[in-house]
Each structure stands twice: as C-alpha cells, then as structure tokens.
Amino acid sequence: MKVLILPDLQAAIARAADIIVKTVQTKPDAVLGLATGGTMLPLYDELAHRHRAGKVSFASTTSFNLDEYIGLSPEHPCSYHHYMQQAFFDHVDIDPARTHLPKGDASDPQAAADDYEARISDAGGIDLQLLGIGQNGHIGFNEPTASLGSRTRIKTLTRSTREANQRYFRSFDETPQYAITTGVATILESRKCLLIATGAAKAEAVARMIEGPLAAVCPASALQLHKRATVVLDAEAAEQLALRDYYETVHPDGRESAFGG
Ligand code: PGA
C-alpha cells in the first residue's frame, strides 16, 4: 500500500486531485469509480475548479458510483444520485449517459445490483476507484464482516453508519437501513484504488486498515491485497499509524518515492 501523508486537508485534497487528473490525462476514456460522503466534497470542488481552468476534461470518461440507498429515487435530495449531480456532474463536462449509480428505487434491488456488476464488467472494469472510509472501517457500504469476496448486492447498514449519515436526513428513523453497494471483490478488481481519509475521527480506522490484520471486520483492510492501492491522508488521519515515520521516509510530504513508486 502506498501511504501518502500530507500536512493538512487542503494539501491532501490537492494530492488526490493530482492523481485523478493524471489518470484522466493519461487515459481520457478512463472508467472512474466514484464515491460520496463529506470527505469527497472538497475533492469534487477541486476537480471542478481544475476543469474550469482547462486542466482536465471528463468528456470521454465513464463513471460508476460505489453505492446508493435503497428506497430513494434519483431525485430525492438525500440520494447519492442527487449528491453526485450537485457535487460533481453539474460542474464538469462528463456525459450524463456515461454516469452510473445503482438503482436504489428498483422494484427488484438484487436484480438491479446484479445488473450493475455486469455493467461494470461490460465497461471493461474500473481504472481508478475512489474510496472513503467509515469510522467502522467500511468501504462503500461494505460494513464490518462483509465478505471479502462480495459482489454488488444489498447490504443492511449498521447503526453507527446510519447515525453518521443521519445529519443528511430529518431523523434517524428516516435514514435508510439498506443500500446497494459494490462488493469488496468488485472494488479489489479495480486496476487502481485511491482511498482518501481526513480528520482525527478517521485515525483509528486508518490504522486498522493499513496496519491491522487483514480481516472482514475491517473491510478496508482488504486493500492490503491490492497491488496498486494508494491512501492519501492528512496529518490528523495519520496520527495513529505506528509506522508513520517509515511512510514519511518513503514518501516525504506525500511525494512519489525515490524510485517513482
Ligand atoms: P465521510 O464518509 O466522507 O462522510 O466520512 C466516508 C464513508 O463512510 O465511506
């Protein structure tokens, strides 16, 4: 795992944006795996800013989001469809026909999940998968003890995830209990993964992901198996890493290593 530690939130977001922009410049028709959540908002702002400045075009890219709540229509203000529209799609030149999210309002959510997995595969797989991490170690909505071999499917959300997401809804009871999420194995098949974590609230989960045992109880630890996983952290999210000095020696200020890796 490539662990890049940046001094603050702004520097971490800029570093992550550099990696995404480079991927799209190298492969304009890249298939991007996108994520939602508070961590991603400044990143989408930064990408939109770079797009407006003429530094990157998403016109030929395809996107697949990680997850969507079951029971919410795309128009629902708390749906991830709506989030993506507001946070990113409306501000860049991505072709709406090539943006994909699981259909949370499908009459048969498992059939919709199977269809989603097939669409990712038909698109040739994901070139760069963007990821956040939950305080409980989830990636996508793969909650603790999710199968490390899982594919896109329905997951029941933990109480802690619903509590973390309650701020977007009127009450805990209105916060959805189920979601369609791509699986851990779906994520691991991406050619590159880029996980971003910022803030002290993520420090424990980050340490478990990078230095804890590989275990389904921390689904993000599955990234230990990935050949090209990069983790971008701000100093606060890195504060519980036992081997922090080592990561900072390999990648001073979050730069590439001496041998370019
Ligand atoms: P957050 O969510 O960015 O809102 O903290 C991340 C996640 O739960 O994956």
> How far is Cα of residue 237 from the mean position of the Cα atoms in its chain?
16
255 burial via Cβ count (<10 Å: 0-12, 13-18, 19+): exposed
Atom of ligand 1 nearest to the CA of 135: 8
Spans of the chain below 50 pLDDT: none
- CA–CA separation, 247 and 205 (whole Å): 17
Buried b (16+ CB within 10 A) or exposed e, 223-234: bbebeebbbbbb
59: nearest Cα among 19, 86, 87, 32: 32
Tell me if 163 CB under 6 Å of ligand 1: no
Q: How confident is the model over 106-130, as pLDDT tens digits?
A: 999 999 999 999 999 999 999 999 9
Atom of ligand 1 nearest to the CA of 35: 9
pTM of the model: 0.97
Instruction: Give me the CATH code for the 2-252 domain, please.
Output: 3.40.50.1360
104: nearest Cα among 36, 196, 192: 36
- CA–CA separation, 239 and 205 (whole Å): 11
The structural domains of the chain, with segments of one domain joined by +, span: 2-252
Q: How confident is the model over 222-259, as pLDDT tens digits?
A: 999 999 999 999 999 999 999 999 999 999 999 999 88
Tell me if 133 CB under 6 Å of ligand 1: yes
Atom of ligand 1 nearest to the CA of 161: 8
- CA–CA separation, 259 and 224 (whole Å): 21
Tell me if 125 CB under 6 Å of ligand 1: no
The pLDDT assigned to 59 comes to: 98
Tell me if 199 CB under 6 Å of ligand 1: no
Give the distance (Å) from ligand 1 centre to CA of residue 138. 9
